[in-house]
């Protein structure tokens, strides 16, 4: 902190032009410094200096000396005021660096003492964090990285790192679907719901309807600029979405029951009903959106959203939802799904849900009203 050693030692009753800048800096961090336009070290400013010294854990004597000036210099920046990166010649120092180190420490990525200095260890921790939340690992703590880290840090009470990374990816990305990858699995009931018994005369019809909804969804997402991979049970690869770095997996099947009265649409995500910390937060958010959109755009009964720890949901790092828009064994559902317009609305509902997942709250329209044409990618 050698630059501060050139400052004079100032205390109550002194007058110096240096006090104008110093008062401004202390006022900016919320201290009552009295008259910020006066170069006089008055009683109000003495109280402010003592409060600052006490807060920073240094000698509380009311005097402005090298140590206090050094701490005031560190307090100049709040996290986000400037872009932070490693400079081996003149490493950045400040409270913003300390706050960044604190966030990284809470996530287990920075294990050294909080020292206010953006050195190699902090650079390595930033790169590790960026990689973990799906961002380019360049070591630059700019707006996108900070938003992602803040989202992770705010969500630490949601449990595992997998969940934190999911939330951060959504918060750190923009609203556009252009360039995103979505995996659509259609008619995969024989592998995902092996214990669900489909009547032989209806199994093929269920597959046809599921596949048709999947194709319609594929077309809508393509129009929004997203890349899609549509797979069936025969083509399915357990790790495909993770390998592709997909944003989400949407599985579409029809349900079946031994009771002909069972009906309605339902959506499933990875989680436990009895333990909120075991969850895919993006999967949960997407499932809730899908369920609301389907029920708003069709007359299908609301079978609600459900958390499940099924292997088909938990084996991926990529957020995944199972969408079951009706029972093939129910006469009313079967008749509704036989209409191409209904299958079209279901596909529209899922596409709208994926778009809404990435919209800011202030620009997210009410359920059932999102017009996807406004988001279509310009070719």
pLDDT tens digit sequence for 272-330: 777 665 677 788 889 999 999 999 999 999 999 999 888 888 888 788 999 999 999 99
Burial of residue 39 (CB within 10 Å: 0-12, 13-18, 19+) is: middle
Report if residue 88 sits inside a domain: no
In angstroms, the CA 10 to CA 49 distance is: 11
Shared domain for 126 and 272, answered yes or no, is: no
- Sequence-distant (≥ 6) Cβ neighbours of residue 235 within 8 angstroms: none
What total of structural domains would you count in the chain? 3
Report if residue 291 sits inside a domain: yes
Shared domain for 162 and 302, answered yes or no, is: no
Which structural domain range is residue 194 located in? Answer: 181-375
Shared domain for 262 and 359, answered yes or no, is: yes
Backbone φ, ψ for residue 230 (5° rounding)? -100, 120
**Nearest CA to 257 among 336, 187, 195, 192?**
195
Shared domain for 242 and 262, answered yes or no, is: yes
CA distance from start to end of the chain:
55
Q: What is the pLDDT of residue 254?
A: 96
Alpha-carbon dihedral of residues 43, 49, 54, 57, nearest 10 degrees?
A: -160
Confidence of residue 6 (pLDDT cuts 50, 70, 90): low
Residue 258 has pLDDT above 50, yes or no: yes
Q: Are strands 320-325 and 248-252 parallel, antiparallel or unpaired?
A: parallel
Question: Which pTM was predicted?
Answer: 0.59
Q: Which residue has the higher pLDDT, 370 or 4?
A: 370
Angle, CA of 311, 313 and 316, to the nearest 5°: 95
Q: Model confidence over 38-91: pLDDT tens digits?
A: 999 999 999 999 999 988 888 899 999 988 998 998 898 889 999 999 999 999
In angstroms, the CA 63 to CA 104 distance is: 34
Helices (H), 155-258: 161-171, 189-192, 200-223, 240-244
Shared domain for 207 and 111, answered yes or no, is: no
- Answer whether 293's CB lies under 8 Å from 346's CB: no
Last residue of a domain, which of 113, 145, 171?
Answer: 171
Shared domain for 140 and 200, answered yes or no, is: no
Last residue of a domain, which of 171, 202, 226?
Answer: 171
In angstroms, the CA 241 to CA 246 distance is: 5
Say what percent of the chain tops pLDDT 90: 52
Shared domain for 22 and 43, answered yes or no, is: yes
For residue 55, give the H/E element and its range: helix 43-56
- Answer whether 236's CB lies under 8 Å from 273's CB: no
**Nearest CA to 264 among 334, 196, 199?**
334
Strand partners, 275: 272
Query: Which of 29-33, 56-60, 93-97, 166-170 shows the lowest per-residue confidence on average (mean pLDDT)?
Result: 166-170
Report if residue 87 sits inside a domain: no
**Nearest CA to 109 among 100, 97, 118?**
100
Shared domain for 369 and 275, answered yes or no, is: yes
């Amino acid at each position: 902190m050698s630059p501060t050693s050139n400052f004079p030692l100032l205390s109550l009753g002194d007058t110096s032009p240096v006090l104008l800048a110093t008062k401004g800096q202390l006022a900016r961090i919320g201290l009552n410094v009295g008259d910020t336009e006066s170069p006089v070290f008055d009683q109000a400013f003495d109280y402010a200096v003592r409060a600052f010294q006490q807060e920073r854990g240094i000698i509380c004597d009311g005097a402005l000396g090298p140590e206090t000036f050094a701490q005031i210099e560190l307090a100049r920046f709040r996290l986000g005021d400037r872009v932070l990166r490693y400079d081996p010649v003149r490493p950045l120092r400040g409270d913003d660096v300390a706050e960044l180190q604190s966030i990284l420490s809470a996530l287990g990525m920075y294990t050294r003492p909080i020292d206010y200095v953006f050195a190699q260890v902090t650079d390595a921790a930033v790169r590790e964090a960026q990689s973990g939340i799906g961002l380019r690992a360049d070591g630059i703590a700019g707006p996108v990285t900070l938003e992602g880290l803040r989202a992770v840090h705010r969500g630490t009470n949601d449990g595992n790192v997998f969940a934190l990374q999911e939330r951060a990816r959504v918060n750190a990305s923009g609203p556009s679907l252009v360039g995103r990858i979505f995996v659509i699995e259609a008619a995969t009931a024989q592998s995902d719901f092996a214990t669900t018994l489909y009547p032989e005369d209806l199994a093929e019809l269920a597959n046809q309807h599921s596949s048709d909804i999947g194709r319609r969804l594929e077309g809508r997402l393509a129009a929004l600029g997203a890349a899609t991979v549509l797979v069936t049970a025969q083509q399915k690869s357990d790790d495909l979405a993770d390998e592709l770095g997909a944003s989400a997996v949407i599985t579409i099947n029809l349900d079946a029951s031994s009771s002909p009265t069972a009906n309605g649409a339902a959506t499933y995500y990875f989680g436990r009903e009895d333990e909120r910390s075991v969850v895919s937060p993006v999967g949960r958010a997407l499932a809730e959106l899908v369920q609301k959109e389907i029920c708003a755009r069709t007359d299908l009964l609301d079978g609600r959203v459900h958390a499940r720890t099924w292997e088909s949901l938990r084996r991926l790092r990529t957020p995944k939802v199972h969408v079951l828009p009706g029972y093939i064994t129910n006469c009313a559902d079967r008749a509704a799904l036989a209409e191409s317009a209904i299958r079209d609305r279901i596909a529209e509902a899922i596409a709208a849900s994926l778009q809404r997942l990435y919209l800011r709250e202030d620009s997210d329209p009410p359920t059932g009203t999102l017009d996807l044409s406004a988001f279509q990618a310009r070719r």
